[in-house]
Structure 1
Amino acid sequence: MEREPPEIVILMLKACVFLALVPFICISQANSEQLDKSVSREIANNENPGFISIDCGSNVDYYHDETGIWYKTDEGFVETGENRMTSSSVKLNYLYFGKQLITLRCFPEGDRNCYTLKPKEGKNKKYLIRALFSYGNYDGKNLQQSFQLYLGVDLWQDIDFIEYYYHTEIIHTPSTDTIHVCLIKSSPTIPCISSLELRLLNNSIYQNEEINSTGAPQPLLKLEERFDVGPSTCYYKDPRNFVGRRDARYKDDVYDRMWSCDQLLYITFDWYPMGLDESINMDNATNDTYKLPANVLKSAAQPRNVTRTLGFVYTAYSSTAQYYVYLHFNEIEKLSDGKKRKINITFKNQPVPSKPIVLDYLKPVTLNIKIQGDVLFNISATSDSNAPPILNAYEIYKLITPLDSPTYAQDVGAITDIKSSYLVNKLSWQGDPCLPTEYAWEGLVCTGDTIPRITSLNLSSSKLTGEINISFSYLTELEFLDLSYNELEGSLPEFLAHLPKLKVLNLTGNKLSGPIPKDLKEKADNTTLELSVAGNHDLCMTGSCKKKNIVVPLVASFSALFLIILISLGFRIFKRQKALSFHVIPPARSNSKKWGSLKSKHHAFSYNEILNITDNFKTIIGEGGFGKVYIGILQDRTQLAVKMLSTSSKQGYKEFQSEVQLLMIVHHRNLVSLIGYCDEGEIKALIYEYMANGNLQQYLLVENSNILNWTKRLKIAVDAAHGLDYLHNGCKPPIMHRDLKSSNILLDENLHAKIADFGLSRAFGKDDDSHISTRPAGTFGYVDPQFQRTGNTNKKNDIYSFGIILFELITGKKALIKAPDETIHILQWVLPLIKGGDIQNIVDTRLQGEFNINSAWKVVEVAMSCISQTAAERPDISQILVELKECLSLEIVQSNTGSARDIIELTSLSTGSEITPSAR
């Protein structure tokens, strides 16, 4: 029996540990404060889902009472500029936006300064973006403001105003997840901005005919006019005491549009405001796809002489300019039985539409018309109309067709990662790297007739430190790369030799060490590459390097000495513990993120082979926290999925390593198979079997024309349950997936389902079926509420997620159902229908009732058991598998949709005959 250490030694060890941890405690507290601030901003943003609201120049986040909107500071959205405040002598007391006008972000340095917006909803969604500007004589010079505003690479607006404020709006459907809004210094005036706002729109509204294919630059709609034409009090006195235009915003406008009203309209066009009828309850309004606010819908204008027309003229900028006009109508008078208001509309004397519009009480109608040149319309009553013509509101947008495509997305991702990794501090490195050409990033040369590519990169004397980042390997059109006179260290990476078009590589004056890679040296020797490496004193030029003697200084630190003793004691204790029953690859080092080579029977691919099979990373088929996934093709035409590790994401690195650890030891026909790997220094890649039909979530989308029938859905559920059963009950120790969701259920060419993405998985020992986790795991919408409350991780968390997937298969809806004005969880939608016994509306209506009701109800019951609020009441996946097989057999037999092959396959699934040995 070992003797216990003396008490004095224990006390000294405790003191040593405390001293060693003091810096980390301080750092932890600082991080906690930063986290609190981050969480506060996140909560504020959740108050207005689909909104980004920035008060430029403000020092605090705040809630705006008049609009009900949370505003953030511009921290994290812009890297340059300085905060200013308007003069106290200038009164900017506008009710709905005056607070935002008081603070400014001004940009005295640089020709282009950009805000970067990354909406959570991502690309290919429709957004309204609004910018507000004020001057307020902040500098005491009383200057007229003049500069340019760009959206990405396209000119949005020439900003030129002498008024107290100016605002402009644009509707944009981005083809990337990032949106750049840039201020360009086009005159001596210093550009300033007061507020920048983004609002998610429903993709079905504000349509135009010029929508391009996915990935191409989409046309823009720039707001020219948006008028609420009804209120009788359509005027106000502004700070200069004259009757004029009023701009208003309403809390019930889910898109937060700014509505204007001007008394001049009534004078010029002889309109008569019908006023605002407060007694109308717009809660009963139907068919309002544009979601107009009640104040706009409850008021209208009509001709002062009811026998005449409502006419309007908007003078175009040029005869070739194209506009989209949206006319909004809503019947606000209850006409006696059988009577209707019927109206004709003509644009430039051409009837639009061909038939009259008949208005029904409180049923809004929006007419969308495209016109070139001056906008001239007339609204008149038909001969059999029982009431004069009316108009509630109208909007005019100018069509802007993008002139240029943005820089190639892979190049943008690579150069952005380089900027982030090396903390490159160059004023011009904002917005699109290549366009507009006069504002391209310093040190870059771009070429390309249609889509710009980066062909030259000069980062000489840029204070770069650390190793040469793998992101350079993604600049596949690079011909010239200058990294000279920096502080780069470590080995010279092999991937530089595989840049297909590189002609000049200058690495002079760094701290690189080790041998020059063979392929790189060969290119330099045969003069296909001009290589400069002088000044790297530890770089071996001959191909064989001698190891240098390393002298390790002795640090005489009392606390360090006892830390070593503590670590030694800990190691002795650790050696006595029982090792885990399956092999784990050594974890990453905290300072270099290097880890052990992948040693297994799986095929080892070289980086050069990765380049060849992916055709220089030509086609991206997915992306996650680890990095991007590319399609690969072998010489025999076998397709593969190649997952590349990005060095910029620490979290992605951990998930990547976790996936390697598991896929090396677990094998099952319902788990995605690992084919091979690439392990060359900083370059890490995993190569999987290719799943031809993508993921389940994509296949269930409303837009997908290939609708899964009920039998196929049941087979997918059984396949997924088999995979999860193997992880939970076939592996020793059991493995929790922890991120089950429909996008992680992949489908092969025969629609067989396989579970993928094990980056968050965790293995548990025999006596360790639960664990308190402080690390976030899972995806919102699929995460077990009990885990969110307690942090208690166990197999029943996976069962809850599996229940959500079952409901997605049943209903054809996503876990989070997005509506124009809110997002609801699938359980909020389906549970009332289940309670009402409405199976026909529970099951995906696209199936048109073609399913067995008994099997459908049984699957619903299984899903309900999975999402029980008490985790202990949820069944084991093995029990769920048995019940799903019964559902499938019931469907096959009773619907007569199955062949003999289906029955044989079902029997095979029941025996689990293709399950491989457990992970041990």
Structure 2
Amino acid sequence: MLVLLALVLTSVMVHAQNDQSDIISIDCGITKGSTYTDYSTGISYVSDAEFIDSGEIHNISVASDKQLSTLTSFPNNTRNCYTLRPKNGKGTRFLIRASFMYGNYDFKNRLPVFDVYLGPDYWDTMRFNSSSQPRTMEIIHVLLSDFMHVCLVNTNRGTPFISSIEVRPLANDMYNETDAGSLYAATRENFGSKSTTVRYEADKYDRLWGPSEPTTPDYISLNTSYNVSAGSSPNLQLPFDIMGSAVTPKNLNLSFDIEWDPINTSDTFFIYMHFAEIEQLKRNQTREFNIYLNGKLWYEHLNPLNHTTTTIPSSEPEAIASRYTLTINKTRNSTLPPIINALELYVLKKLPQKQTEDQDASAIWSIKSVYGVKRHWQGDPCAPRETLWIGLVCSYNDADLPRIISLNLSTSGLSGEIHPGLASLTMIETLDLSNNNLTGPVPDFLSKLNSLKVLNLKGNNFSGRIPKELLAKSKKGSLQLSFDDKDSCDTKHCVNKVKKILVPVIATVASIFVIMTALTTIWMIKKQKAHEKRKTSKGLEIKKQKYTYSEIKSITDNFKVVIGKGGFGEVYHGHIGDVQVAVKMLSASSQQGDKEFQAEAYLLLSVHHRNLTSLVGYCIEGKHKGIIYEYMANGNLQTHLFDTSSKVLNWEERLQIACDAAKGLEYLHHGCKPPIVHRDVKCNNILLNEKFQAKLADFGLCRAFPTEAATHISTEVAGTPGYLDPEYYLSYRLTEKSDLYSFGVVLLVIITDGDVKSVVDPRMLEDFDEDSALKAVELAMACVADTPNRRPTMNDVVMGLNECLVAERARRETKVVDSSTEIVSVDLEDAR
């Protein structure tokens, strides 16, 4: 019975010692779902397939370790990231190790060079000396997030790859020097040991200790079979396999020197030297020595304790030097030469960039998982800025962590109900879920997102009513809410409501119509007689809207200054009192006649929006016909998009102009009943006032649909070549999507100035948010899709451009706001 109990207890102790629940061991390139336990270390490894959704797996025919016999390479995408979530995350100190072995897996026999990042921060550049020599990167780092990202970045010098990733939690009182930054392992030397690397299980933290034996007869190895206690270094928990061996000179007066050259001239080091007396000294024997670094006394009068560890670490980063030399000399009182058991060298590594706030990161990762988002979403969502996830806009504040403020998942193939993880995006301002297959009710938690300003739910299959709080916010103007009419209530409720209301409405509609017609007629007469005045955008009150030809001549100083020309005629500069105006006169040779003149005058009289030019007055006197409208001091957009323009519009200004023009079109399409199609959207017809606010102009070709239900009208083709929708040209079917095509061309011109090869106007000197520009290009390309039904709506365009503008403004705000002896020469390149 006692024997059985002992066996049980032994089993429990072994199991506890080998508990690996808090470590991460990934063998890259093994089959998805497969696991194994390494026979030499007892470490259990898993496939990397659960930590990344890209890459190609390969085998290596000859490898020293099993973990090096496979790898994952990344021929696609510039940046590919593994995302890990350790059991203990934020605030925990970890040893993080990445291993690489080329092994000519691609049969190209060309050693690649690529960068490795830890989260948003540059870790190091991976270089190889030979195809058969493995390399490692190891760092001691305190996580500031629950998420850990190891990213491989293609620098156009070969395809990045990786063999394994290992993450080991350390005790919080180990290597406290990480308070100054992270510690990048340069080397660990196990002096006096045989030619094997010491790691787990001998070292419970799985540090890699390389063997370092004497290479000349002047130095000898020392070994002991007795235990070496922790002594003054209990926190480092150095294993017996390390402290049980040492090196010492044979000659009493011979020093022990260690030299190394830094790989980078800016590297600063932390040094850990470990000592223990492992010889049985006689009564008349003493061992005492001093340590010098580059000739300066570093530590004095060290007496290593009998079979007890003493660790001497750097108290602060060592001064930068082109070469470092540690020299250990005996003191005058010592009867024995110096001794050393082990050495650790670390480069201080600053990793300053902040990762996305954990709440937002968790939310967006769960959204990616639940919906299976088919985008290259890898690494940290918001950091670094240049790799911001497509569809996201983040806010950046030096005092705070990056937060997600905009999420565009339009046309992303989402299905199922709206995921509750969205409720955790508490700082979100814009959320676009349009044109997916989302079902179920629109959840109440969307109403609790207090920062939400724009919400687009159109093009889904929701059931039930839109939450009252969302509708209330929309009515107050604090939320721009877009949804399909069918989503405003559930089918049963709507049917009952219609039954209750429809009958009495039908019974009284005729009488109401008569009454409303009479009231409208009276109101129009009163308005014309008593309120025959209008304010321009400058605040000018025009007593009348109809002007005589002689008055037009006076206003324009006899048509003295021409400020524009078009198919309608010439446009003249003028004044009414102290206020500048523009006067467009119909020329006798104009290809546009009375019909177009009347169409423009009528539209300017009937529609009013801050992004449409305002009517001041008109003239109809015999053959003289003209329209007076507000003067736009900065002319049309086209004049500012040529190399000869004195002012180069920056990216924020271009986006604002695009937003303004889009809002004008959005009003015509969705704010007018029935909807109006402009038909001649182009850069020349986008005018800019003194503040560079954009307004749509030239409404002579506008057409209104006969009824709101009409999807198109048939009409002769009119418009400007280059901006004209090919579908409209072929079918003569005019729809709102015709304007979308033209606006897409305008947007491309704004971005590129017509030079598609340069993509973004080089005159902006790359001073713009790249993701914002990419989003704008995506919007423009969506607008000019060959098939009209694949084009977005103007609502969608306005939302998308607003996102681009938010991202660019956030960016701009952040921008403001070898050895002297034959014993040891540490080669840091090989050590890594």
Q: TM-score range by the shorter chain?
A: 0.5 to 0.7
Specify the alignment match of 1:186 in structure 2.
155
Separation in 1, partners of 2:92, 2:450: 35
| Higher RCO (C-alpha 8 Å, min separation 6) | 2
1:85 counterpart = 2:30: no
Q: For residue 312 of structure 1, what is the amino acid of its counterpart? A: I
Specify the alignment match of 1:437 in structure 2.
385
Counterpart among 190, 198, 205 of residue 228 in structure 1: 190
Verify the 8 A CA contact 1:342 1:381 in the aligned structure 2: yes
Separation in 2, partners of 1:335, 1:229: 20
Partner secondary structure for residue 274 of structure 1 = strand
Partner secondary structure for residue 371 of structure 1 = coil
Separation in 2, partners of 1:103, 1:45: 28
Alignment CA distance shift 1:149-1:319 (3 Å) = closer
Matches within 5 A, 1:485-564: 485-534=435-484, 537-540=486-489, 545-546=494-495
Counterpart among 196, 214, 227 of residue 165 in structure 2: 196
Alignment CA distance shift 1:490-1:478 (3 Å) = same
Separation in 2, partners of 1:45, 1:168: 27
Q: For residue 30 of structure 2, what is the amino acid of its counterpart? A: S
Alignment CA distance shift 1:230-1:118 (3 Å) = same
Separation in 1, partners of 2:249, 2:337: 8
Specify the alignment match of 1:472 in structure 2.
422
Please, what TM-score do these two structures have when normalized by structure 2? 0.53
Deviation, 1:541, is 10
Separation in 1, partners of 2:23, 2:463: 49
Verify the 8 A CA contact 1:321 1:372 in the aligned structure 2: no
Counterpart among 304, 316, 330 of residue 359 in structure 1: 304
Please, what TM-score do these two structures have when normalized by structure 1? 0.48
1:757-803 deviation per Cα after TM superposition (whole angstroms, max 9, x unaligned): xxxxxxxxxxxxxxxxxxxxxxxxxxxxxxxxxxxxxxxxxxxxxxx
Separation in 2, partners of 1:110, 1:45: 41
Separation in 2, partners of 1:515, 1:166: 60
Specify the alignment match of 1:171 in structure 2.
140
Specify the alignment match of 2:409 in structure 1.
459
Structure 2 gap ranges (5+): 1-14, 499-832
Specify the alignment match of 2:35 in structure 1.
61
Specify the alignment match of 1:349 in structure 2.
295
Alignment CA distance shift 1:209-1:63 (3 Å) = closer
- For the pair shown, the structure with the greater C-alpha radius of gyration is 2
Alignment CA distance shift 1:529-1:304 (3 Å) = same
Counterpart among 256, 260, 285 of residue 310 in structure 1: 256
1:146 counterpart = 2:113: yes
1:105 counterpart = 2:105: no
Deviation, 1:293, is 3.4
Separation in 2, partners of 1:497, 1:454: 18
Alignment CA distance shift 1:500-1:285 (3 Å) = closer
Verify the 8 A CA contact 1:229 1:273 in the aligned structure 2: no
Alignment CA distance shift 1:318-1:543 (3 Å) = farther
Verify the 8 A CA contact 1:323 1:371 in the aligned structure 2: yes
Separation in 2, partners of 1:182, 1:446: 20
Alignment CA distance shift 1:300-1:496 (3 Å) = same
Partner secondary structure for residue 336 of structure 1 = coil
1:299 counterpart = 2:271: no
Q: For residue 333 of structure 2, what is the amino acid of its counterpart? A: D
Specify the alignment match of 2:101 in structure 1.
134
Alignment CA distance shift 1:209-1:173 (3 Å) = closer
Matches within 5 A, 1:210-221: 210=179, 219-221=181-183
Q: For residue 69 of structure 2, what is the amino acid of its counterpart? A: I
1:715-738 deviation per Cα after TM superposition (whole angstroms, max 9, x unaligned): xxxxxxxxxxxxxxxxxxxxxxxx
Separation in 2, partners of 1:365, 1:329: 5
Deviation, 1:272, is 4.8
Partner secondary structure for residue 366 of structure 2 = helix
1:125 counterpart = 2:92: yes
Partner secondary structure for residue 187 of structure 1 = strand
Matches within 5 A, 1:317-328: 317-318=263-264, 320-328=266-274
Partner secondary structure for residue 359 of structure 1 = coil
1:372 counterpart = 2:319: yes
Specify the alignment match of 1:630 in structure 2.
none
Verify the 8 A CA contact 2:228 2:276 in the aligned structure 1: no
Verify the 8 A CA contact 2:222 2:279 in the aligned structure 1: no
Alignment CA distance shift 1:396-1:491 (3 Å) = same
Alignment CA distance shift 1:227-1:271 (3 Å) = farther
1:281 counterpart = 2:218: no
Matches within 5 A, 1:386-465: 386-427=335-376, 429-450=377-398, 451-465=401-415
Separation in 1, partners of 2:497, 2:37: 63
Alignment CA distance shift 1:453-1:45 (3 Å) = farther
Q: For residue 196 of structure 1, what is the amino acid of its counterpart? A: I
Verify the 8 A CA contact 1:316 1:373 in the aligned structure 2: no
Verify the 8 A CA contact 1:507 1:533 in the aligned structure 2: yes
1:824-848 deviation per Cα after TM superposition (whole angstroms, max 9, x unaligned): xxxxxxxxxxxxxxxxxxxxxxxxx
Separation in 2, partners of 1:366, 1:221: 17
Alignment CA distance shift 1:340-1:100 (3 Å) = same
Partner secondary structure for residue 161 of structure 1 = coil
Deviation, 1:396, is 0.9
Deviation, 1:497, is 3.2
Deviation, 1:457, is 0.8
Q: For residue 436 of structure 2, what is the amino acid of its counterpart? A: N
Partner secondary structure for residue 438 of structure 1 = helix
Separation in 2, partners of 1:159, 1:205: 27
Alignment CA distance shift 1:284-1:515 (3 Å) = closer
1:598-626 deviation per Cα after TM superposition (whole angstroms, max 9, x unaligned): xxxxxxxxxxxxxxxxxxxxxxxxxxxxx
Verify the 8 A CA contact 2:120 2:355 in the aligned structure 1: yes
Verify the 8 A CA contact 1:486 1:509 in the aligned structure 2: yes
1:8-64 deviation per Cα after TM superposition (whole angstroms, max 9, x unaligned): xxxxxxxxxxxxxxxxxxxxxxxxxxxxxxxxxxx9995445432222112342222
Structure 1 gap ranges (5+): 1-42, 212-218, 235-245, 550-920
Alignment CA distance shift 1:476-1:141 (3 Å) = same
Verify the 8 A CA contact 1:515 1:545 in the aligned structure 2: no
Separation in 1, partners of 2:141, 2:71: 24
Matches within 5 A, 1:781-796: none
Query: Could you tell me the percent identity over the aligned residues?
Result: 39
1:381-427 deviation per Cα after TM superposition (whole angstroms, max 9, x unaligned): 11111211111111111111222111112211221222233222322
Specify the alignment match of 2:665 in structure 1.
none
1:845-903 deviation per Cα after TM superposition (whole angstroms, max 9, x unaligned): xxxxxxxxxxxxxxxxxxxxxxxxxxxxxxxxxxxxxxxxxxxxxxxxxxxxxxxxxxx
Structure 1 runs of 4+ with >6 Å offset: 541-544
Deviation, 1:262, is 5.6
Specify the alignment match of 1:804 in structure 2.
none
Separation in 1, partners of 2:46, 2:18: 12
Alignment CA distance shift 1:273-1:307 (3 Å) = closer
Q: Bigger shift: 464-473 or 438-447?
A: 464-473
1:209-265 deviation per Cα after TM superposition (whole angstroms, max 9, x unaligned): 636xxxxxxx3111111112324x65xxxxxxxxxxx755464121222222467xx
Q: For residue 475 of structure 1, what is the amino acid of its counterpart? A: L
